[in-house]
Structure 1
Amino acid sequence: MPSLLEAIEEKYGVGCCDFSGPPDPQEQLVSIFVPKLPPLVSVPQLLVLNDCDIDCAGSEEDLKKKCHTVRELDLAQNKLANWNEVFRILEHMPRIEFVNLSKNLLNGPVIAPPQTTCLKQLKSLVLNNTRLDWESVESLLKYVPALQELHLSLNDYRNVLIDTIDDDYCGMMITSDLDDLTLGDDDDDKPEELCQCKLIKTHQYQQQQQRLNNGNENNIINSDTILNSNTLCCNGTNKISGTELIPIGASTTTAGITRTDIQNIETTISKMTELKLPSATHVKDNSVASSYPGSSSMIACDKHNNVESYKRSDSTSSMYKKTEAHSGVRKLHFTGNPVQDWSEICRLGRVFPNLDTLVLANCPLKAVEAVPRPPSSNSDKSSNTTDDEDVAPPHEFFKNLAFLNLSSTKINTWDDVDRLAQFPNLKNLRVQNWPLWDKCDSTEYERRQLLIARLPYVQTLNGGVVTTEEREDAERAFIRYYMDKPESDRPARYNELIAKHGKLDPLVNIDLRPEKRVKITFTYGDICEVRSCDVYRTVIDLKMRLERIVGIPHNKMRLYYVDQDLRDHQGPEEMKYPHKRLYSYNIQSGDEIIIDQKR
């Protein structure tokens, strides 16, 4: 596979081969003059090398000479798999502002780049379909302080495993990866109480496993130098009522723990006691939350209340990564990642607090819902806080968001639209291909009106600018749409628009279409007969029907229309055009058609 330098030479001719030398005497040389530009001394500022199978940088000296002017680099769909090679490439591009590394399997750890690598001017980074893990994302953010636009689409992220807080947003949930976690048969009917010794034994097991994995067996304290299992048992004196905490991968292994470990455990139990955790129940899935600092892997689930929204999915406390907020990123593209919960998106809002553009198209988000407020924001509040104070609205971490793309998600209720209306700076919104639209009994134009009326601050909807006239028409149509519905079905926006426009009268249904059938007097000689006639018939069709009545062939027949109101002011009007419909003559009941035969 070629290096970056070889791909540059192949495409741009930089460093062409030297053709000087004695010619072959057997060859006949023909000299012609062809104007030709000399080989490029350096590559263009926009360097595009897609699908060139590049897997390494190449000669550093040559790259330094030829790539020092590059500002935008597109290396999508190559074979780069090592971040060291990426940094070696960028090291010789001091002016680089845009880098596209899409479709390179860069899923390895990100090691700090050399000090000579200058990424302080990098503003846009595209990492679509790279399968980059969150720890690598967190590491990269440290090295690109000027980053303004980040693309993380199609990376199969089911959860966002970086955040700016120590504890998980739910605070009270302490869980780990669950594969086959079940309670005993006796636990289904009556939850057990938590004994401190269970927690300590769990911590012993986790600490031993961690130390063994680190290859530091000397730090493991022997069981005869610490409290044994009998002295650790609290004999039921310190229990958390109604809660069962179960270690992952239960083991009878006895491992030593330090006094600091015990203090951490006691702190965790104290916090959990204050939180009054609900009773536990059977859990068997891959859903987890985060853990308190110093706690072991365990789970507390509510048997009677729905806590599904409080659980972190497909992650463990060891995978969870705390990171500093990156205030520079303004645009984030997160398309095509299988994230379902808005709480995961809120993590992105905390990590990137100044986002003004967020693209979540083709993500199976189920709702735009309120999420539990991070514990850090409630630490100073009294214990008498209400439920509303413990829950953050969905726009809590998106105060600067101006553009949001939620097309092709799984959002299915109008309540989610009302929550989007609460985003303070949201001006541009895309909400196409929702399941909600499939069950709405309205046209696309009517749906747009209902959306505009519910979103008072949105100025561009699904790519179309909302004019002042369109908004007023939409708001009035919204009032009339809900005025005949029960008050319980009316959204809060209805009362706001009533206060703005007042109570409106229902529109009168005016049908300007002509009557389908009218009674016409047909006159032929001395014969007069009143018949019902379909005004949507053509003149030739009427002649063919009259042919059977008067006995005159239709091609020998003439028809004259007499308007009953203009009979005295103008004479009969010959109906010359065979394919003209009768209603175009403004025929009404009581008018007359005279039948005559051609001579």
Structure 2
Amino acid sequence: MAQQTFVEALRSKYCDDFESSAANDFVVDIVIFGPRPNRRSAKLTSLGLEDCDEDNGVVLNEPEFNYLTNVVLTNCQISKCGFPASSALDICPNVVDLDLSNNFIDCWSEVLLLLDNLPKLEFLNLSSNRLRDKQRCLQSLKRYHGKLNAIVLNNTGVRWQEVVNLAHHLPVLRDIHLCLNNYHSINIESHELASCFQGLECMRLNQNYFKQWDEIAKLSGISSLKTLILSGNPLQNIVYNSQRKLQSPRRQTSTNSPKVIEQKHGLLFLLQEKDNMLNNAVDSDSCYGSAGSTFDEKDCEIGQLVDDLITKCAADFQESLTHQWSSPETWTGEQTCPNHSLTLDKPTCLCQQTTDSRYLPNTIFTESSTDSELNDGLSTDSTNHKQDEEEFEEATPPFQGLESLCMSETKISGWTDLDEVVKFPSLYSFKIRNVPLGSEFTSMEDRRKIIVASLPNIMLLNGSEVSSDEHERSERFYIRRFNDAANPPSRYYKLIEKHGKVIPPKDLDLAKGFQQHATLSLMMDEKCIKTIEIQTKESVGKLKDICAATLKMPKNVMRLFHVSKNNQVVDEDDYEELFLESLPLSRYNMVDGDEIHIDIDFNI
């Protein structure tokens, strides 16, 4: 099958092609009954033409696939978008869920074109498209896509930097899939991940190659993260470092960012170089004169050159500040204003028309800023950043919002790793199937008890609810299991403080005294009329048949009573009547020497 565009694949799958159907002699007529939705009136309303009608000459062409909200185009050999010159709004403007997995889209420019032309898109699956940012369009991305909240990038080979660049422009991203991407590490700093994933709730990293928890710990600053899935990675340990240092968010959203600081230093350097070059020009005036040019000419050449550099550097600096203070990623909570417009000299919210000090950068530089002001700004910024970072380190615990963690099919083998799981402040769901941990237990039930006892904060283990009763039973089993251990785990001593010493249960032989065969004496009028051997698995009805055959009487006139040989003195209470014919004799604990007393009652 030849490669095709998104639009061609869309028309091929969802467009009614009666000619091709007729050519194959297979036509299915589908009739839908019901009122037709008034799409035309909705279109007129959106254009402010409510009172217009067809007589006014207004002709509105509906989008070709206006009815589509969920589109699945997997394995369709799609390589490009192929939108018309107008836009995709004329094709499928209402698509919410789009699956383009297993195609040939290999450039992010095509993906961004899709996002630009599908304004209602909320879910996008790009699995098994080998994406590359060939044109570096993600680095220069400026448009924000405010609807997309879930994206699947499994088996795409997408780089972490590309993920970060994209996430910065997806302000409502909640769910991201990054499985099967051959990741061995995360080569992005923790503070940058926290900045770009400010609203992320679920991250899936299945089937990659992470071995050490140090790489996973770089995600610990994402405070909104609730679910982290790491199954299928060769992870060998879990470490919860409560002292892990995270950078202050102020550094991420102020003029203290590395790029802006570098530009500040550049401005200062150029201003100083301009003065030095002009001073040197004055000192060497005679040299310029001997070369046939005057000081004024050289002064103009040097000044123009340096002024051009300063102008360019200042423009870059201003652009950085504008980006820092106008990007939605730096506005959270009640500060968010879709109409805000901030400038260097007066950051003002248009909807309030007030200058708020919360939105001011630490230091604002204008064309009249002096060298001392630049130096003071650098010093002040450095001090403020250091103070803010120290406060942030103390106030923000790692993985503070993580509620569910999946570690199935990893290499976790030590019980001490479970001690680290307990330290996660919000964790209540944990999955750890098919791991070396607990391999010494042959019983899956015993392994679950040990894990439950090790995790007092977990309410869901491997998807099953853990009740308070199960917690207590498991903890007592844990104590008995490690009572005789030379070096019991640290959890053992904590449980001893809670429950005390738990005495192991006595070994009970439930089969003791059980006989498969029993020799019974058939008694009538206190005389033994016959001794029989019968299997205890036989029923009471079978015993009645034997008695009836012995006495040559119908069994329905007989009542049978069992008397144990252990009774030294027999009274009325020792006679146990055999009522139900379906019960096995073993239910009466019959052994050799027991008696069966037969009572004949013709009135039964």
Which of 72, 77, 102 in structure 2 is aligned with 1:53? Answer: 77
Report matched runs for 1:127-138 at 5 Å: 127-138=153-164
Whether the aligned pair in 2 keeps the contact of 1:163 and 1:348 (CA below 8 Å) is no
How far apart are residue 561 of structure 1 and its match? 5.4
**1:275-316 CA-partner distances (Å, limit 9, x unpaired):** xxxxxxxxxxxxxxxxxxxxxxxxxxxxxxxxxxxxxxxxxx
1:161-560 aligned at under 5 Å gives the runs 161-164=187-190, 324=195, 326-350=197-221, 352-369=222-239, 397-441=398-442, 443-482=443-482, 484-486=483-485, 488-510=486-508, 513=511, 515-517=513-515, 520=519, 522=521, 535-536=536-537
Give the superposition deviation at 1:62.
4.8
Deviations 1:24-68 (A, max 9, x none): xxxxxxxx9966889955142333222222211112425122333
Change in Cα spacing, 1:106 to 1:523, as seen in structure 2 (3 Å) is same
Q: SS where residue 55 of structure 1 aligns?
A: strand
| Partners of 1:523 and 1:8 in 2: CA distance | 88
Rounded Cα–Cα distance in structure 2 between residues aligned with 1:151 and 1:464 = 24
CA distance in 1, matches of 2:229, 2:70: 25
Tell which deviates more after alignment, 505-514 or 568-577: 568-577
In angstroms, what is the RMSD of aligned CA positions? 4.5
Conserved? CA contact 1:71–1:96, under 8 Å: yes
Gaps of 5+ in 2: 21-28, 38-61, 248-392, 600-604
C-alpha change, 1:570 and 1:511, in structure 2 (3 Å) is closer
Runs of 5+ unmatched residues, structure 1: 20-31, 166-320, 378-391
One-letter identity of the residue aligned with 1:364: P
Deviation of the 1:360 alpha carbon: 0.5
Q: Answer yes or no: is the 8 Å Cα contact 1:94–1:117 preserved in 2.
A: no
Measure the CA separation in 1 of the matches of 2:532 and 2:135.
90
Query: Which amino acid is the alignment partner of residue 585 of structure 1?
Result: Y
In the alignment, is the contact (CA less than 8 A) between 1:92 and 1:117 conserved in 2?
A: no
Change (3 A) 1:479 1:7: same
Cα gap change, 1:512/1:428 in structure 2, threshold over 3 Å: closer, same or farther?
A: same
**Match of 1:479, as an amino acid?**
I
Distance 1:322 1:90 in 2: 22
Do 1:102 and 1:130's aligned partners in 2 also have CA atoms closer than 8 Å?
yes
Distance in 2 (alpha carbons) for counterparts of 1:520 and 1:46: 77
Instruction: Give the letter aligned to residue 66 of structure 1.
Output: I
Q: 1:542 to 1:339 in 2, by over 3 A?
A: farther
Q: CA–CA distance in 2 between the matches of 1:513 and 1:447? A: 27
Q: Could you list the per-position Cα deviations for residues 229-281 of structure 1 after superposition, in whole angstroms to 9, with x for gaps in the alignment?
A: xxxxxxxxxxxxxxxxxxxxxxxxxxxxxxxxxxxxxxxxxxxxxxxxxxxxx
Q: CA offset at residue 449 of structure 1?
A: 2.0
Aligned equivalents of 2:30 and 2:151: distance in 1? Answer: 45
In 2 relative to 1, CA 35–356 (structure 1 residues): closer, same or farther, beyond 3 Å? closer
Question: Does the 8 A contact of 1:131 with 1:156 survive in 2?
Answer: yes
**CA–CA distance in 2 between the matches of 1:116 and 1:93?**
16
Match of 1:3 in 2: 5
Structure number with higher helix proportion: 2
Q: 1:530 to 1:419 in 2, by over 3 A?
A: farther
Residue 125 to residue 505, structure 1, CA distance change in 2 (3 Å)? same
Q: Relative contact order (C-alpha < 8 Å, sep 6+): which is higher?
A: 1
Instruction: Tell me which residue corresponds to 1:104.
Output: 129
- CA deviation profile, 1:200-232 (whole Å, cap 9, x unmatched): xxxxxxxxxxxxxxxxxxxxxxxxxxxxxxxxx
| Change over 3 Å in CA distance of 1:559–1:373 after alignment to 2 | same
- The 2-side partners of 1:507 and 1:355 are apart by 45
In structure 1, distance between residues paired with 2:30 and 2:195: 63
Is the radius of gyration larger for structure 1 or structure 2? 2
1:525-564 Cα offsets, whole Å, 9 max, x none, are 98799999874566799999x99xxx9999x999965314
> For the Cα contact (< 8 Å) 1:520–1:593, is it kept in 2?
no
Question: In the alignment, is the contact (CA less than 8 A) between 2:157 and 2:182 conserved in 1?
Answer: yes
| Contact preservation (8 Å) 1:514, 1:583 | no
How many angstroms apart in 2 are the aligned matches of 1:322 and 1:516? 68
TM-score (norm 1): 0.57
Q: Structure 1 CA distance, aligned partners of 2:551 and 2:186?
A: 83
CA distance in 1, matches of 2:399, 2:179: 19
CA distance in 1, matches of 2:75, 2:167: 26
- Which whole-Å CA distance do the structure 2 matches of 1:376 and 1:344 have between them? 14
Cα 1:493/1:150, change in 2 over 3 Å = same
The answer to whether the 8 A contact 2:521-2:595 is kept is: yes
The equivalent residue for 2:589 is 586
Paired AA for residue 136 in structure 2: I
**What is the SS of the residue equivalent to 2:451?**
helix
Taking structure 2 as the reference length, the TM-score comes to 0.56
Distance in 2, matches of 1:571 and 1:506, equals 38
Whole-angstrom CA distance in 1 between matches of 2:397 and 2:134: 32
Helix, strand or coil for the counterpart of 1:129? coil
**Separation of aligned partners in 2, 1:481 and 1:576:** 44
8 Å Cα contact 1:43-1:66 kept in structure 2: no
Structure 2 distance, partners of 1:507, 1:105, is: 60
CA distance in 2, matches of 1:463, 1:35: 43
- Structure 1: distance between partners of 2:404 and 2:30: 57
Cα distance, 1:110–1:530 mapped onto 2, change above 3 Å: farther
CA contact (8 A) 2:144 2:169 kept: no
Q: Note the alpha carbon deviations across 1:137-171, whole angstroms, 9 max, x for none.
A: 23222322332211101111122222237xxxxxx
Within 1, Cα distance between the matches of 2:416 and 2:532? 58
Q: Distance in 1 between matches of 2:579 and 2:514?
A: 19
User: For 1:336 and 1:536, how far apart are their aligned partners in 2?
Assistant: 55
Note the alpha carbon deviations across 1:83-105, whole angstroms, 9 max, x for none: 11111111111222221111111
- Please tell me the residue identity of whatever aligns with 2:404: F
More displaced 10-residue stretch of structure 1: 74-83 or 155-164 = 155-164
Matched residue, 2:292: none
Partner of 2:103: 78
